[in-house]
Copies of this chain bind each other. A is one copy, B any other.
Amino acid sequence: MAKRESNVDRVYEALRRMAADFAFKPDQRINESALSEVLGASRTPLREALNRLVAEGFLTFQNNRGFFCRPLTPSYIMDLYEARVAVECEATRLACTRASDEDIAALADYLNRMEPEYESATDPEELLSMDESFHARLAQLSGNSELQRILNNLNGRIRYIRLIDLKRLRDRAGGKAPGDISAHRQIVEGIATRNTEAAVSAMRSHIEKRREEATEAVRIAFSQLYVPDE
User: Interface on A for B, CB 8 Å cutoff?
Assistant: 3-6, 8-9, 44, 47-49, 51-57, 63-64, 78-80, 82-83, 85-87, 89-91, 94, 142, 144-147, 149-150, 154
Contact = CB atoms under 8 A, between A and B. Distances in A.
Contacts of A55: 51-56
A94 B79 contact: no
Contacts of A149: 57
B145 A79 contact: yes
Closest 10 CB pairs of A and B: A86-B90, A55-B55, A79-B146, A52-B55, A83-B146, A51-B51, A48-B51, A79-B144, A6-B63, A86-B86
Contacts of A53: 55
A154 B149 CA distance: 12
Contact of A147 (B47, B64, B83): B83
